Structures are given as C-alpha cells and as structure tokens.
A and B are shown apart, each in its own frame.
Chain A
Amino acid sequence: MENNKAAANNKRRGFARHQREDMIGKIYTYLCVLMLIVVIVSIVYFVASKGLATFITDGVSPFEFLFGTHWSPDGTNPSFGALPFIAGSFVVSMLAALIAGPLSICAALFMTEIVPGKGKRILQPVIELLSGIPSVVYGFIGLTVLVPFISTVSGGNTLGYGVAAGALVLSVMILPTITSIAADALASLPRGMREASYALGATRWQTIYRVILPTLAPSLWTGIILGIARAFGEALAVQMVIGNAPFLPKSLLTSASTLTSVITLNMTNTSTGSVQNNVLWSMALMLLFMTFVFIIIVRLLQRRNKL
C-alpha cells in the first residue's frame, strides 16, 4: 500500500525527477564498474612495469630467469634462475590437486548420489567451515603437526619441511573449492539421466562412472583447475612448511620453494629498485600470468561443457 502512495507522489512530481533519479543510478553503477576495470588494468600495468624492469633495466636474461636453475641473487656472480620456484609452485599445486581432486569428487558424489539430502546436510557445513579457516591457521597446524609427523615417518632423517608438507597443507585448503564446484555440477545434472541409466539395469557405480562422470568431466576439471590456481597463488601457509631452499624439488621430503614463498621471504629485506627486488616482481608477474592461463583453461572447459 505504501508503495502505491509513493508511486502516486512520484508521478505528481513529474518526469524530471524521474530522469534525475535514473541518472544518479546510472552514474553510480557505471562508476563502480569503471572502478573495477581501472583496478585490474592498474594491477596488471604496475606489476608488469616492475616485473619487466628486471629484464629491461637490469639486463637479466628472461631465458635465464625462466629456465635457469641457479638462484644466487646476492652472490659475487649473481644469477637469477627462477626455475626452481616456478617448478616448486607447479609441483606442490599439482600434487595438492592430485590428493584433493579424488577426495573432493567423492565428497560431491556422497552428497548428491550416495546419500542425497542427508549427506549434503552433513558435508556442506563441513566444506564451508574448511574454506573459512584462514590460511595462516593451516600453515600453523602444518608447522606444529604435519612437519614433525613427516619427520618421524621418514625415520628422523629429514626435517619434515618440504614438498610433501606443502602439498598436504594445500590439498586440504583446496578441498572446499573443488568439492563445491563438483557438487554444483552434480546437482545441475538432469534427473532423467540417472533414471535412464538405472532403468537399463546399471548399478549406481556404473551410472556414476559411465554416465555422470563423463558428462560432467569439463565441470569437474574446472573445479580441479580452479583448485590448482588457488594453490598456486597461496603464499603464507606454504611458506611456513616448505623449507624454502632454492632448489628444484627432487623428492617429496626435500625442502623446496615456491614463487610465493620466495616473494614473501625476500620482498621486505631487499631495497626497492635493486635487481634483487625487481626479480621478485618478475615472479609476481609470473603469478599474474599464470592466473590468466588458468582462467583461459577454465573458459575453454566451459565452452566444451556447452556443446
């Protein structure tokens, strides 16, 4: 009723007011969207300009940066091979996805196929809480529980810091990402598809792996890629448990580094404008670049999904 009255009032005050209101609304929302674009353009621009300075101003060879395995920025003969960190980032995030992927998809299947309804009521809050736990808390638990555990399991020969600890911590962190995307995909599946399969006499498992999983493959991969993307960019939790030695990850139990861990440890200890500092920005640029790569992969997967 109130709305009616307000509307009547508005009509009386005429068209000008109407237009002015719309103008305000338009300007406000357009400005907000413009902000978004300005933000992203400036992030890319600023990080790129700093990150490329390593190669343009300081004359470090991009080839050495991408493929060099020798990292010694402060040495008498400084060398800036960042391959150990690039490889470290890939290895821990892939391993994390390898662990979390199957777990997450099983969790999603549990929620939608095995115990529909009840399963969701139990697992959904669990997944939400897991995604809500701050990354430093994961790092801290990794440091106090996982690292000593790995050290003990390996017979006390290693410190426990290393690739395995990093990948395990990350796998728990990306579990919610993959699970929720997989669960959404499963829920979007037309009911008839399952029933058709059951009607043909297929068991539940046959239905799952012959019908459901192949149909949803692009969506499930999307979840896994987004999980890898999240793991790739995660900084502090990994830094706390990976050991931070600048070497190519050769075994699960040796200490390694990731792009993010090197940036975290050295950014504030180096002075702005120095080559040691600029090279860290190049790594940040690398992280940005990988974000775009992951998004392109996801987009391609989504396109396949529509077909």
Chain B
Amino acid sequence: MKSKKTLFGTLTLTAMLALTACGGNSGGTTTTEPTTGTGGTTTPPTTSEQPADTAISGSILAVGSTALQPLVDQVGQKFMEENAEVTVQVQGGGSGTGLTQVSEGAADIGNSDVFAEEKLDADKAAELVDHQVAVVAMATVVNKDAGVDNLTKQQLLDVFSGKVTNWSEVGGADKKITIVNRPSSSGTRATFEKYALGEKVENVEGSIEQDSSGTVKQIIADTSGAVGYLAFSYLDDTVTALSYDGVEPTDENVQSGEYPVWAYEHMYTKGEPEGATKAFLDYFMTEEVQNSDVTELGYIPVSSMEVKRDAEGKVVQ
C-alpha cells in the first residue's frame, strides 16, 4: 500500500508541476504581451499606457548574443535595483536565436552582434527596430615572433585567404602562418571579414575554428606564427596587435572613424518598444551606463562615436 501511495504521490507531483508550469508561462506572456505587441493594434489599457509618473513595471526578456549577454545582464541588474517592479531576464543562445525569438515575439529584446538584415529575411528584419547600444572593435593579433606590426588590407586578405603562408612574405620573420579563425556563423568573424578583409574568405586548410576569445588569445600567444582576431578588451602584452593600413587599433582611432574594424552591438525590438522595455533601452543609452558599464566591459560607448554606419556598412558622418 505504502509504495502505491508514493507512486501516486510522484504522479500528482508531476501533474502539479505541469500545472504550475503552464500557469507560470501564461502569466509570463500576459505581462510581456504589451511590450512585444506589434504596435498600432488596439490593445486594452496596459502597463505601457499608464501615465508616466507611475512606477515602471513588467518583465523583460532579452535573448541572444553570448558576447553581449554579460553587458545586458549587468545593466539589467542595475536597472532592477532602481525599478523594483521590473524583472529583466537575460539569456544567451547566440545572435541567430535572439533575432529569431524577438521576431517571433518570444522575447522582448533580441541581442545581436550583427545587423538583423544579415541573419533574417528582409521582410522579417524590416519589422524589427534597431537599438545600437555599444561598439565593439577588433584587432588583428599575431604571435610575438611573427615579426610584423602592421599589415595593409591587401596583405591581411592574402594571409587569411591562404595566398601568403609565411610571415616573411609580408615583411616579417621566417615563420609559417597558422590561422585561428571563428565559426562561419560567428558575429566576430562576420565583422572582421566585412570591415578588415572587405570580403568573405574561405577557411584555409590547416586553420582551426574557435569560438572562445580567451582560447583564441591563448592559442595565438602559445603558437609560433599564429594569427587571429580579438575584440579590444582581450588585448594585452602576451600577443601583438597589428595596425591596419598604418592605423593603430585604439579606441580613439575607432571613434574618429580612422580604424574601420568595428561593429555595433544591437538590441532589437519588434516594433517601437513600449513600457518597461522602452525604459530599459533608454536607461541603456544614459551617460551613466554608457560611460561606466559599457566601457568597463571593453566596449566603446555609442555616444562617443564620431561616425555612424548603416547595415550595408557605409559610413555616414
């Protein structure tokens, strides 16, 4: 008898769990609905339409880029401290996941390393509103024994497309070139190819693909003749960061627009953001966040940029 009881006990427990799960879920969607709503529709009065003087409330789900996740997480926690009625949930999962989920309405904010146009169909991308919250710049990085400190765009392309296989061919030491690349779907790679090489290149035989910047840095530091690319925040004296067409990879050169290898970190919403989501994104753009959290994590504040870029990569002043 006793064992039977425990058996049914577990069964009921499972059922209860399923119930709470459903309850929790529907609860979640009702609170997020107003903020994800495709705008314009006749939504009944919701948190988003409450007068401005009441406290902001609601829950925000931001999904996407693993590179951007730590920043959003940190800002989200600060935002929650200031607004007790708001919960910000940040999930990783990659830029593709983030864009898909925000486009389907499953998340309020889709974090992405690349423009939505590069991952989604044109009509789906058109529904999304871009919020550029930070700038990430990348430098070409080589092992110290490569003997180079500057490469032109053409030389860089030759190296990464495998036309050049020894550093001596581009004015460096007599060392074999070993390429440490990123996976083809990686935002870091997309940025590097687009703005440093000017075109997509195929992997070279003998190269490897790594997704982790920490691992990439370690491999380059440890392997003779290795080359790769890293965000500025990873640069230190264990590796050599190369100048690009004679321009040093520094924050100032990025801000002035002289150093071109950089990209925006995007937070996409479906339609114009409302309510808590809008408040959160506005908070992200305040000087308080841009000049502390953003720089602390090695990004460059968007507000400090003297140049702007559109999705095609064209620079606009």
Answer whether A and B touch in the complex at a CB cut-off of 8 Å.
yes
A64 to B265, CA, bound (A): 35
Whether A159 and B178, one on each chain, are in contact in the complex, defined by CB atoms closer than 8 angstroms, is yes
- Since A254-B206, A271-B120 are in contact, a sample of 5 more A-B pairs with Cβ atoms closer than 8 Å, ordered by chain A residue number, is A245-B209, A265-B211, A269-B183, A272-B97, A274-B119
A268 to B29, CA, bound (A): 23
Q: Is B185 an interface residue (CB 8 A)?
A: yes
- Give the one of A243, A257, A271, A277 with max B CB within 10 A: A271
- Give the one of B92, B120, B208 with max A CB within 10 A: B208
Given contacts A157-B176, A270-B96, A270-B119, contact A265 B183 (CB under 8 A): yes
Whether A277 and B207, one on each chain, are in contact in the complex, defined by CB atoms closer than 8 angstroms, is no
Q: Is A72 an interface residue (CB 8 A)?
A: yes
A274 to chain B, nearest CB (A): 7
A161 to B226, CA, bound (A): 14
A75 to chain B, nearest CB (A): 5
Jot down 28 A-B pairs with beta carbons below 8 A, ordered by A. A72-B184, A72-B202, A73-B185, A74-B184, A74-B190, A74-B200, A75-B200, A76-B200, A148-B222, A156-B223, A156-B224, A159-B208, A245-B206, A246-B184, A254-B205, A265-B211, A266-B183, A268-B92, A268-B93, A268-B94, A268-B97, A269-B95, A269-B96, A269-B187, A270-B94, A271-B100, A274-B96, A274-B119
Q: Is A276 an interface residue (CB 8 A)?
A: yes
A107 to B180, CA, bound (A): 40
Contact with B along A288-304 (1 / 0, CB 8 A): 00000000000000000
A71 to B119, CA, bound (A): 18
Within 8 A of A (CB), among B97-133: 97, 99-100, 103-104, 119-121
Q: Is A247 an interface residue (CB 8 A)?
A: yes
A73 to B119, CA, bound (A): 12
Interface of A is mostly: loop
B209 to chain A, nearest CB (A): 4
Whether B176 and A74, one on each chain, are in contact in the complex, defined by CB atoms closer than 8 angstroms, is no
Nearest-neighbor residue (CB-CB) of A270 within chain B = B96
Whether A161 and B184, one on each chain, are in contact in the complex, defined by CB atoms closer than 8 angstroms, is no
Q: Is B161 an interface residue (CB 8 A)?
A: no
B17 to chain A, nearest CB (A): 16
Q: Is A255 an interface residue (CB 8 A)?
A: yes
Number of residues in A with C-beta < 8 Å to the partner? 35
A266 to B206, CA, bound (A): 20
Contacts of A254 in B (CB 8 A): 205-206
Whether A244 and B96, one on each chain, are in contact in the complex, defined by CB atoms closer than 8 angstroms, is no
Q: Is B43 an interface residue (CB 8 A)?
A: no
Whether B200 and A271, one on each chain, are in contact in the complex, defined by CB atoms closer than 8 angstroms, is no
Contacts of A156 in B (CB 8 A): 223-224
Q: Is A273 an interface residue (CB 8 A)?
A: yes
Whether A159 and B96, one on each chain, are in contact in the complex, defined by CB atoms closer than 8 angstroms, is no
A159 to B221, CA, bound (A): 12
Contact with A along B180-205 (1 / 0, CB 8 A): 11011111001000000001101101
A270 to B178, CA, bound (A): 27
Contacts of B1 in A (CB 8 A): 6
Q: Is B219 an interface residue (CB 8 A)?
A: yes
Q: Is B74 an interface residue (CB 8 A)?
A: no
Whether B100 and A245, one on each chain, are in contact in the complex, defined by CB atoms closer than 8 angstroms, is no
Q: Is B210 an interface residue (CB 8 A)?
A: yes
A12 to B202, CA, bound (A): 81
Contacts of B92 in A (CB 8 A): 268
Contacts of A273 in B (CB 8 A): 100, 121
B134 to chain A, nearest CB (A): 19
Nearest-neighbor residue (CB-CB) of A151 within chain B = B223
Contacts of A272 in B (CB 8 A): 96-97, 100, 104
A73 to B96, CA, bound (A): 14
A271 to B205, CA, bound (A): 27
Contacts of B121 in A (CB 8 A): 273-274
- Give the one of B1, B92, B94 with max A CB within 10 A: B94
A277 to B226, CA, bound (A): 31
